[in-house]
Structure 1
Amino acid sequence: MGSTMAARILARAAGVERAETGSAVLAKVSLMTCLDGTTFIDTFRERGLKVWDPSRLIFCFDHFFQPDWFPQQAGKEHPKIKAFAKEQGVPAENVYDVGRNGISHHIPVEQGWALPGAVCIGADTQSSTMGAANCFALPALFGVDPIILTGDIWMIVPECVRITLTGSLPPGLNGKDVVYRLIQDLGETVGGKVIEFAGPGVASLPMDFRLAIANGSVQIGALTIIFPYDQVLEDYLEGRAREAFEPVAADADADYVATYDYDLSRFETLVAGPHDIELVRPLGQVEGLEVTAANIGSCSSGRLSDLALAADVLRGRKLHPGVRLVVTPISADTHREAAKAGLLEVFLDAGATVTQPGCGACYSGNLSPLKLGDGERCISTSVETLRGRMGSQESEVMLANAAVVAASAIEGRIADPTPYLARAMEAAHEA
């Protein structure tokens, strides 16, 4: 049998010709990305330890900006990280402070750190996001210290599942709808395995959609997700990649434990939650449920295409008086691009609040004015729908794409964005 993309990446990182599924390899890490909630700095200082390669460690400030739950940490964590980086010789540009900041597993792709064929590790649960760049991306929540010390990670070469895509998504759908469909279909069959995408339908997915899909690995139940290298990714990396890279492709007879075929044109708008990410339903089944809060942002959304989709719905309209909408761009660059495109003006004119980049309202410990009270229901583009995630234990969080969130914020109830998007397309055609 041939090799999967995961096996090829791990073999290369381990310096071996071939890595068999189920074998153990010691893989060299190309990048370690950390959020602003560190646990290793004190250990390194106390023991006099040194980072394996300061040039390959980055920090992204995305969570702690005077949050409610960690007031002392918020005032200490950022200066502590910057001081540690200076002590260790980590270049100043590797610390993504306010003004350059963004989510710790989005920044590596956006800024050309996470590259095809590499092993990229992140200290955040959603670090599989980087797999959109044809790399092996893995969250290392309990093994950060040895990785940062040695630059190596022991891996059992994982089993892989191939998903072959054809067609293209209908207008108004994006990567989040793909994630919800895979949760619905595959949640019990891909546990601990790597999902690798293939097929002509991949070319129809822009990078923003791929990042959103790869971000959903944990929620789907997979170990990580890897997209193939193609023209879309090549164009994205042009002028962005920080060093030379060597893409990987799966062999035609790669050792997949299962294969699935999907026609993207047959996908529909889905909503997840409340309280359980596996509670996925068609939009029509939850239409009309009252909402008092709406959120666009987090690592599964908040990219420029998400903001543009929401703006198409909101342009020239006002929020329902009983709904507050908060919009959080995923990164400083996205924030600037949205401003140049006039999207922020659309949100502000509609009555929304736009916050600085970061994780935003995804959970109530982050910086955001959106804290849910008892009995509230929020429709959000964020990554989790757990009880109490965005505030009160007696509130509900339901998840959908940015168009659904925007339409719901206008109507004060979960709403179908199709009529709004149709009018937006008509207006664009007339213009």
Structure 2
Amino acid sequence: MTSKILARAAGKSFVEPGDVVIAKVGMFTQLDGTTFIDNFEKKGLKLWDPSRVIFCFDHFFQPDWIPQAAVREHPKIRAFAKAQGVPDENLYGLGRNGISHQIPVEQGWALPGTVCVGADGQSATMGAANCLALPALFGVDPILLTGDVWMVVPDVISIYLTGEFRRGVTGKDFVYRLIADIGERVNGQMIEFTGPGVASLSVDARMAIVNGSVQLNALSMMFPYDDVLQHYLDGRAREPFEGVVPDADAVYSETIEYDLSTIGELVAGPHELELIRPLSEMLGQKIDAANIGSCSSGRLADLALAADVLRGRKVHPSVRMVVTPVSAETAREAAKQGILEVLLEAGATFTQPGCGACYGGNLSPLKLDDGERCISTSVETLRGRMGSKDSEVLLANPAVVAASAIEGRIADPAAYLGAAVMVREPQA
């Protein structure tokens, strides 16, 4: 799939690993950190195609250590966008905002068979939409100037999936399984998911899996085009597209098989993401805070799963629990489906969409004090990421976080997950 997309984007009939290509970018998504704007304004540069650049406000609403950023960055982006001819619709500010690699998928910008670039380390998340999703933390200026990306066609690992997750296990658990199993040998290769197990995964679940690309040391990850993705894109896609699937004789550097039914709940951290252990080894550890959100687990399916655990129950009085949806669309759908009501009734605090406590921004009230421990669905477990450097952040899936919030200690959600309450796919 990777070679097919790069060949198409480079105007070639065929490319293979090791070839150098200049590929045309289908869209570029930028968070509200804007160092490139100064260069463009100073040198009088122009965006290659203003209609294919979007800005997503997700980091700088009011981080506690640089409160002036909220006042400075957003007006700066709006002024730049207006001068460059970027349509108003392409600015996802307050009320429409969301994480910069979530918005392109849910709003139909990231399309199958295209190259999509994002200025965030987790931009591989867009690969759930069958596009080649490339994080661009450096070298943003030439991409925005030309609409091209220079790269070497990568080697590709195939991960062949069978089965389906059991109740209470999510894509986040699978990411940790991959990090533990193959993290040391990926070495910048591309990862493509294939096999009958793919059909069991919702787009939300796929996004949770490919979100872990940077932690796995992969260039990116990609799911194939199928009926699940087509249904999701109906009414969302902004232009016609041509999805890709791997050829039967596709050559991979390695093929690894996983039965999704064998994946269990895992916990990562503290301080090191590679410190991954089965939930059973972590049970009973006292917690002070619980957090559900960030680009790894703030989607509708995650909020619905947490609500299923918390329905009719209360957050432990010694625990403060915060829930941050990944986007404004997700927040509205959570309210429409009654998920928001369940979370609030349980005692959780629901915040505005964005990165939330994972980044320390977005007005999140969750700041850890010395010696405190938080169990979170977020991306990072780095020391000091959510407050004091003498606190601990443990990472787990939304069901585990919700069960732990109830008991005030790390807990198994199995006892709280009775009859499934299925989340309804939002209408585009």
Q: TM-score range by the shorter chain?
A: over 0.9
Report Cα offsets for 1:328-348 as digits up to 9, x if no partner. 010000000000111111111
Structure 2 partner of 1:287: 283
- Stretches (4+) displaced over 6 A: none
CA distance in 2: counterparts of 1:366 and 1:286, whole angstroms: 30
SS of 2:215's equivalent?
A: helix
SS of 1:109's equivalent?
A: helix
Report Cα offsets for 1:341-388 as digits up to 9, x if no partner. 111111111111000000000022443000111101100000111111
SS of 1:217's equivalent?
A: coil
Report Cα offsets for 1:170-224 as digits up to 9, x if no partner. 0111110110110110101112001100000000001100000011101111110
Q: Which amino acid aligns with 2:82?
A: K
Match status 1:111 vs 2:104: no
SS of 1:40's equivalent?
A: helix
Structure 1 partner of 2:44: 48
Structure 2 partner of 1:418: 414
Structure 1 partner of 2:295: 299
Structure 2 partner of 1:139: 135
Report Cα offsets for 1:236-291 as digits up to 9, x if no partner. 11111000001112222222111100001111111111111111111000000110
CA distance in 2: counterparts of 1:66 and 1:230, whole angstroms: 40
Q: How does 1:28-427 map to 2 (within 5 A)?
A: 28-422=24-418, 424-425=419-420
Q: Which amino acid aligns with 1:364?
A: G
CA distance in 2: counterparts of 1:27 and 1:267, whole angstroms: 37
CA distance in 1: counterparts of 2:34 and 2:335, whole angstroms: 32
| TM-score between both structures, scaled by the size of structure 1 | 0.97
CA distance in 2: counterparts of 1:352 and 1:250, whole angstroms: 44
User: Could you tell me whether the CA contact under 8 Å between 2:47 and 2:144 is conserved in 1?
Assistant: yes
| TM-score between both structures, scaled by the size of structure 2 | 0.97
Shift of 1:425: 4.3
User: Could you tell me whether the CA contact under 8 Å between 1:11 and 1:17 is conserved in 2?
Assistant: yes
User: Could you tell me whether the CA contact under 8 Å between 1:10 and 1:119 is conserved in 2?
Assistant: yes
CA distance in 2: counterparts of 1:374 and 1:363, whole angstroms: 18
Q: Which amino acid aligns with 2:378?
A: S
Report Cα offsets for 1:119-154 as digits up to 9, x if no partner. 000000000000000000011001111000000010
User: Could you tell me whether the CA contact under 8 Å between 1:117 and 1:246 is conserved in 2?
Assistant: yes
Q: Which runs of 5+ in 1 are unaligned?
A: none
SS of 1:281's equivalent?
A: strand
Shift of 1:399: 0.5
CA distance in 1: counterparts of 2:363 and 2:383, whole angstroms: 19
CA distance in 1: counterparts of 2:215 and 2:282, whole angstroms: 21
CA distance in 1: counterparts of 2:87 and 2:387, whole angstroms: 37
Shift of 1:29: 0.4
Q: Which amino acid aligns with 2:17?
A: T
User: Could you tell me whether the CA contact under 8 Å between 1:70 and 1:365 is conserved in 2?
Assistant: no
CA distance in 2: counterparts of 1:421 and 1:339, whole angstroms: 21
Q: Which amino acid aligns with 1:158?
A: P
RMSD over aligned Cα, in angstroms?
A: 1.3
CA distance in 1: counterparts of 2:394 and 2:249, whole angstroms: 40
Shift of 1:19: 1.1
Report Cα offsets for 1:391-427 as digits up to 9, x if no partner. 11111111111000000001000000000002x549x
User: Could you tell me whether the CA contact under 8 Å between 1:297 and 1:327 is conserved in 2?
Assistant: yes
CA distance in 1: counterparts of 2:344 and 2:92, whole angstroms: 27
CA distance in 1: counterparts of 2:251 and 2:48, whole angstroms: 33
SS of 1:298's equivalent?
A: coil
User: Could you tell me whether the CA contact under 8 Å between 2:377 and 2:398 is conserved in 1?
Assistant: yes
User: Could you tell me whether the CA contact under 8 Å between 1:68 and 1:366 is conserved in 2?
Assistant: no
Q: Which amino acid aligns with 2:127?
A: G
User: Could you tell me whether the CA contact under 8 Å between 1:63 and 1:367 is conserved in 2?
Assistant: no
User: Could you tell me whether the CA contact under 8 Å between 1:168 and 1:263 is conserved in 2?
Assistant: yes
CA distance in 2: counterparts of 1:135 and 1:251, whole angstroms: 16
1:7 to 3, 6, 28: 3
CA distance in 2: counterparts of 1:312 and 1:98, whole angstroms: 29
CA distance in 1: counterparts of 2:281 and 2:195, whole angstroms: 31
User: Could you tell me whether the CA contact under 8 Å between 1:64 and 1:367 is conserved in 2?
Assistant: no
SS of 2:21's equivalent?
A: strand
CA distance in 1: counterparts of 2:360 and 2:353, whole angstroms: 15
